Amino acid sequence: MSEGRLRLAADIGGTFTDIAVFDEKTGKLTFGKALSTPSRLVEGISAGVAKAGSDYRSAALFLHGSTIAINTMLERTGAKTALLITEGFRDIYEIGRINRPDAYNLFFQKHVPLIERALRFEVRERMLADGEIDRPLDEAEIAALGRELERLGVEAVAILFLNCYANADHERRAKAILEKNHPSMFVSASHELSQEYREFERSSTVAANAYIGPKVRRYIGEIDAHMRKAAFAGSFLIVQSTGGLYEADQAQSQCIRTLESGPAAGVIGTQALCRALKIDNAIAFDMGGTTAKAGVIHHGEPLTTGEALIGGYEKALPVQIAMMDIFEVSAGGGSIARVVDGALRLGPQSAGASPGPACYGLGGTEPTVTDANLMLGRLGAGRFLGGEMKLDVGAAERALKSKIGDPLGMSAVEAAEGVLRIAATTMSYAVKGVTTERGLDAGDFVLFAYGGAGPLHAVEVAREIGMRKVIVPSAPGVFSAFGMLFADLRYDYVRTWFTPLEDAKFDEIEKVYRALEQQGRDAIAGTSVKPHKIAVKRAADLRYVGQEHAVTVDLPMSAFVRKDRDAIKRYFDAMHAQRYGTSAPAEHAEIVSLRSTVTGLMRKPPQRKIGRGGRAPAKAAFGGKRKVYYGGKWHLTPTYRRDAIGAGNRIEGPALIEEYASTTVLMPGDAMEVDALGNLVIAVGGR
């Protein structure tokens, strides 16, 4: 491998760390997979890089996606954080939207803020909605507050001043004072993350960014220092929740943009395959060790959102940033099954990498989805990770029998089958969450299954929701890392701009968009990587007059070139009908916010064809038979080595296709054919 010609991508999951290495000179792709090391995550990265036969010195570009930001929020392990907010608005962060999703639940508990009330401080300043200053910022007050925060041991500060989206001068100045006087303090101002209205959502976003900031900054700094020490001289880029890339330095201050970085990379990889296979609509289904996640490719583009609810709707903390529209459920290979009040439950707790599932033999004693797959023969005890890691069937059986079977009067096999049934149903919720709940019919989509556990469950999930086709890409166990190689530099900007659509002047609209787009071009020009092309996309948040909430609508550049107000209204009506099942073409609409995405396009790795085979796999592909439990009985099931099958090969279910980091399960009635790129294309039977 030529020095300085490699792109190295690393995706850290709850159980495994995945590595993909692309040699730009030869076009060769190699992969590595190692157990994650929670106490010092960089060690898992280095182990994976070594397994991929590479090193940091040879890399020109290091791409990274991680779950550390989202895990820090969900596990509540962030920094001691304070919030500075405009006088009179101390409690908006806790009051929220007063949602009551379960009206008749007497035990309902609302969201718990990341910052306790005692650490929320009011500041005497006031900016009006038009950007005019009503009360100037008292800089001496900010300096005094800084001294008080240091005395209290505060590590991070979030700043939210009213109407800062219209004029950010007060936030900007307050941040500068705190950073100058307290250089070790992590300081985050809301206007740097969002320039939209809605004070609660912006306060929640900046609070989350400050809360996770010190931990994420240390983590990224540790990786960077480790690589530089190992002679890495290239560019270090982080995957954002949109699937785009930005500089590690930016990620250390705008940490919240990495919440869904790993899952987003998988959706980008799915989009690349869809383009190669000429597929317009697909579900990206990723099942790893801790969770199962689903995203959508619709008309060739990933669906994104301008806001996400972290922690679910009931107790959600909103985050107002652009991100991939991904739905996540607690059903991964390491998800722990247990009996609660006489019923079998799965997750949300996970065995993770340490101690891991019982069958790993690393000290785990709780039954997991992986233990159930091993118990039912879907995983080969001596073939896990290509035989590198031996699995203990006895340990899996003991865990399933003692923790589930005995309390419910079942055998270990029946317990394992119950676990997998619940897992399939739970995972179907993730797919429905990004299709049915968005006004889309899941049956019109192809399911792309990846992650170490995705191919094990894909056909059962497809059956559960009526999908007809499943595609398992090459190297599914490291697919999110592979997807990072197809990511581009990306910057998303939004500006609240309340205007009735029929009164909007296109010259003024163009002025706002041009300003946003120049910000993106400047950001890309300031990176250490030079893309070969810059692309711009526009969208707008619109609503009918009298509505409270808006819908984000992608708009073609032609609508602005032609100054076609009617076309914008038609696009809005169509999107409203898709999302809510109704629209009102005769009603007036208004613009709420204008959005622009500026992308620096990177050169993509080629997708190479594999060797052609006959209709039946070659004898070298056959891996023997073993007993596998389906539908209430054992079947003697053939196994095949994926690295020995060729394009055009067909395999009828039941069958198992095994590879280094994953196993694809074909149920009775399924039929699989290998396409020219080596993807497993499965026609789902039994529907």
* Neighbour tally for 615: CB within 10 Å: 8
Burial label, 380 (beta-carbon count in 10 A; 0-12, 13-18, 19+): middle
Taking the chain (687 residues) in runs of 10, the rounded mean pLDDT of each run is 72 82 86 81 89 90 87 86 96 81 71 92 94 95 97 97 94 97 97 90 95 94 92 92 92 92 91 95 89 90 84 73 86 89 86 84 92 94 84 94 94 95 91 84 93 92 93 92 93 93 94 95 90 94 93 94 94 92 94 95 87 91 94 92 94 93 92 96 83
Q: What is the pLDDT of residue 417?
A: 95
* Sheet order of strands, 551-555 included: 29-35, 16-23, 6-12, 59-66, 235-239, 245-247, 489-500, 589-601, 533-544, 551-555
Q: What is the pLDDT of residue 2?
A: 39
Q: What are the start-end ranges of the E strands in 177-266?
A: 186-189, 235-239, 245-247
The burial class, CB within 10 Å (0-12 / 13-18 / 19+), for 140 is: exposed
3-state class percentages of the chain: helix first, strand second, coil last, to nearest 5: 35, 30, 35
What is the per-residue DSSP string for 437-494? GGT--GGGSEEEEESSSHHHHHHHHHHHHT--EEEE-SSGGGHHHHHHTT--EEEEEE
CA 119 to each of CA 84, 149, 184, 287, 510: distance values in angstroms, whole numbers, following the listed order = 9, 9, 18, 38, 42
Give whole-number Cα distances, 421 to 344, 586, 657, in Å: 11, 48, 21
The CATH number that domain 73-217 falls under is 3.40.1360
Domain boundaries, the chain: 73-217, 261-331+425-483, 335-422, 489-601, 622-683
Beta strands in 290-405 (DSSP E): 292-298, 301-302, 304-305, 308-310, 317-319, 323-324, 327-329, 335-340, 343-350
What pLDDT score was predicted for residue 312?
62
Q: What is the CATH number of domain 261-331+425-483?
A: 3.30.420.40
Give 45-63 as a 3 state SS string: HHHHHHHCCCCHHHEEEEE
Relative to beta strand 650-652, strand 671-674 is: antiparallel
How far is 680 from 664, CA to CA, in rounded Å?
9
CA 418 – CA 396 distance, rounded (Å): 14
Q: Which residues contact 310 (CB under 8 A, 6 or more apart)?
A: 70, 73, 74, 208, 259, 316, 317, 318, 319
* The pLDDT value given to residue 138: 95
Expressed in angstroms, the distance from the first to the final Cα of the chain is: 48
Total residues belonging to the chain: 687
- The pLDDT of residue 486 is 92
What's the CATH number for 489-601?
A: 3.30.1490
Token digits of residue 99: 């949602």
**Position 582: which residue type?**
T
Asked if the peptide bond before residue 455 counts as cis, ω within 30 degrees of 0, the response is: no
Q: CA torsion, points 279, 469, 474, 630, in degrees to nearest 10?
A: 170
Look at residue 236 in the predicted model and tell me its pLDDT.
94
In contact, 430 and 323? CB cutoff 8 Å: no
Contact residues for 261 (Cβ-Cβ < 8 A; gap 6+): 64, 65, 66, 67, 69, 238, 239, 240, 241
- Residue 539: closest CA among 478, 613, 619, 595: 595
Query: Long-range contacts of range 21-24, CB-CB < 8 Å, 24 or more positions apart?
Result: 21/49, 21/52, 21/53, 21/54, 21/59, 22/485, 22/605, 24/60, 24/603
Segment holding 19, helix H or strand E: strand 16-23
Cα distances from 248 to residues 11, 79, 241, 347, in angstroms, run 15, 20, 14, 33
Bond from prior residue into 585 cis (ω within 30 degrees of 0)? no
Given a contact cutoff of 8 angstroms between Cβ atoms, the answer to whether 38 and 235 are in contact is no
Instruction: Write down the residue that tokens 């890339």 correspond to.
Output: 245
